[in-house]
């Protein structure tokens, strides 16, 4: 269950992408474009990578809807997980469907548990200012395994734009906003497994997601990811 919860953390915050294509609120989207994010443990040892590809860009009323294919590889280059999810842009806010935080393999593990999920999606305003408080997000699930009740809850709280700084990563140098948040997760299946962590992400104007993310537990860096390639 701990592996299940740790995987969810890696899905909370991803990377950015800049292309010349259909635009919404300063963000650009193009079918076939993509990017790669390299993952490391707290000591800087490579642990694998994530690749993302924009599979489809469409309109839903006044919203731009982007469908994204994700694939996770271990540090030996072997594919481990795949997922497909959506994000929407309404002209002012980029919204990531919180259901994307539950990946394909997790859903398989929940298959026989009659799980029902409710979501509060992740919202990212197109314009950020230091001191802004961003909307909380969550995934809440309830089900059962035989006679035993099962719950799976994930909360992303206290999302705050903590500052601005210069960030240099393999993909280049950017002026970024630093966003901090608390990650509280719990899975109960007979007994509870809890995790409380903190996340720091770095965003640049006009870029879809995070350029870098860091995950801490009790003040200690546990893992980080950073943008390596845009294509």
- 103-109's contacts with Cβ under 8 Å and 24+ in sequence apart are 103/7, 103/8, 103/11, 105/7, 105/81, 106/4, 106/7, 106/8, 109/4
Q: Does domain 2-230 have CATH number 2.40.360.20?
A: yes
Q: In this structure, are residues 81 and 53 in contact, taking their beta carbons and an 8 Å threshold?
A: no
| Residue whose C-alpha is closest to residue 4's, from 138, 188, 222 | 188
pLDDT computed for residue 227 by the predictor: 93
pLDDT computed for residue 106 by the predictor: 66
Structure-model confidence comparison of residues 228 and 23, the more confident one = 228
pLDDT computed for residue 1 by the predictor: 55
The chain-wide mean pLDDT, for the chain, equals: 85
pLDDT computed for residue 16 by the predictor: 37
CA dist., res. 229 & res. 224, Å (int): 16
Q: How confident is the model at residue 13 (pLDDT cuts 50, 70, 90)?
A: very low
Q: Please list, residue by residue across 26-36, b when 16 or more beta carbons sit within 10 angstroms of its beta carbon and e when fewer do.
A: ebbbeeebbbb
Counting Cα atoms < 13 Å in the Cβ hemisphere of 10 gives 28
Q: Where are the domains of the chain?
A: 2-230
pLDDT computed for residue 161 by the predictor: 97
Mean pLDDT score, 76-98: 88
């Amino acid at each position: 269950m701990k592996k299940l919860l740790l995987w969810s953390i890696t899905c909370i915050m991803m990377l950015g992408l800049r292309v010349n294509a259909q635009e919404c609120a300063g963000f650009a989207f193009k079918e076939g474009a993509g990017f790669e994010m390299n993952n490391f443990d707290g000591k800087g040892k490579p642990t694998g990578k994530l690749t993302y590809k924009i599979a489809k860009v469409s309109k839903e009323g006044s919203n731009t809807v982007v469908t994204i294919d994700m694939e996770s590889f271990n540090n030996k280059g072997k594919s481990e997980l795949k997922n497909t999810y959506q994000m929407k842009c309404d002209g002012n806010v980029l919204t990531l469907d919180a259901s994307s935080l539950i990946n394909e393999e997790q859903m398989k593990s929940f298959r026989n548990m009659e799980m029902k999920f409710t979501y509060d999606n992740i919202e990212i305003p197109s314009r950020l200012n230091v001191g802004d408080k961003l909307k909380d997000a969550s995934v809440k699930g309830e089900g059962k395994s035989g006679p035993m009740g099962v719950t799976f809850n994930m909360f992303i709280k206290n999302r705050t734009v903590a500052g601005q700084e210069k960030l240099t990563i393999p993909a280049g140098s950017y002026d970024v906003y630093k966003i901090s948040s608390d990650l509280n997760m719990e899975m109960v299946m007979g007994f509870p497994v809890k995790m409380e962590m903190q996340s720091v992400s770095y965003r640049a104007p006009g870029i879809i997601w995070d350029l870098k993310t860091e995950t801490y537990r009790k003040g200690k860096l546990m893992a980080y990811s950073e943008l390596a390639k845009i294509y």
